[in-house]
Amino acid sequence: MNAPLRHTLLLVDDHPMMRRGIRQMLELEDDLHIVGEASHGEEALALIEPLKPDLVLLDNNMPQMNGIETLRRLRAMDYTGKVLLFTVSDAEDDIRDALRLDANGYLLKDMEPELLIQYIRDALNGALVISPGLTRVMAQALRSPPRQADVELTERERQVLRTIAGGYSNKVIGHKLGITEGTVKVHVKNLLHKLGLRSRVEAAVWAMEHLRGAG
């Protein structure tokens, strides 16, 4: 029997007790493996190239360099792995900045451990993960320009938006909708332009806010 795929994680938090607790919890999971720890942003950036983690679990409130700036630097380094902000802050500015820098999720530290593990797995599988109760704050933080309320979308565009909100890749979206990956890319590009958005994350947030419950 083949061993389960192990995803590698880097923990970044200035509190040793928090890192230790997360490590002890994740060490019980066969598919998640912590390959390194960092106590601040600069240390994390130095570990990315040698460790090449699949996911960075990143605190926001840290000395020297906070999580948002660390995320900005990670993306500037062309790090394409997953990054989850794991913080006590539910401030709109922090959520907006994190998602516009292509964070793969924004999680609050008061969640249950089992939920954190599930969200880590979901993010590794391509989903955008947000703490329960933060959806409205997130939508407020990325509030669409007023003109977007009047934008008319085709049914196909609505389908593409819903699948983007589900965290699916272009290839999977194409398979689900019976269209080519290239056609999906065209739809995504057109949707971002039509809605005045800058990233798939913003499109996912827009879809969750505007298409909720829509056929």
Q: What is the pLDDT of residues 15-69, one digit of tens each?
A: 999 999 999 999 999 999 999 999 999 999 999 999 999 999 999 999 888 999 9
Helix, coil or strand: residue 37: strand
DSSP letter at 152? -
**In terms of domains, do 135 and 150 share one?**
no
> Sorting pLDDT into bands at 50, 70 and 90, what band is 168?
confident
96 domain-assigned:
yes
Within 8 A by CB and 6+ apart from 55, the residues are 7, 8, 9, 10, 81, 82, 83, 84, 104, 120, 123, 124
**In terms of domains, do 61 and 22 share one?**
yes
**Structurally, how many domains does the chain consist of?**
2
Look at 135 and 57; give whichever has higher pLDDT. 57
* Residue where a domain terminates, one of 123, 140, 157: 140
Helix, coil or strand: residue 163: helix
Q: What is the domain-level CATH number for residue 12?
A: 3.40.50.2300
State the pLDDT at residue 3: 55
**In terms of domains, do 135 and 36 share one?**
yes
State the pLDDT at residue 214: 44
2 domain-assigned:
no
Provide the CB-side half-sphere exposure for 8 (13 A, CA).
11
**In terms of domains, do 129 and 200 share one?**
no
The torsion region of residue 196 among left (phi > 0), alpha (psi -120 to 50) and beta comes to left
**In terms of domains, do 22 and 122 share one?**
yes
R_g of the chain, CA atoms, integer Å: 18
Q: CB pairs under 8 A, 24+ apart, for 153-159?
A: 153/191, 153/194, 156/187, 157/187, 157/190, 157/191, 157/194, 158/211, 158/214
Helix, coil or strand: residue 123: helix
**In terms of domains, do 119 and 156 share one?**
no
**In terms of domains, do 133 and 189 share one?**
no
Q: Which residues constitute the domain of residue 46?
A: 7-140
Mean residue pLDDT of the chain comes to 86
| pTM score | 0.67
DSSP letter at 169? -
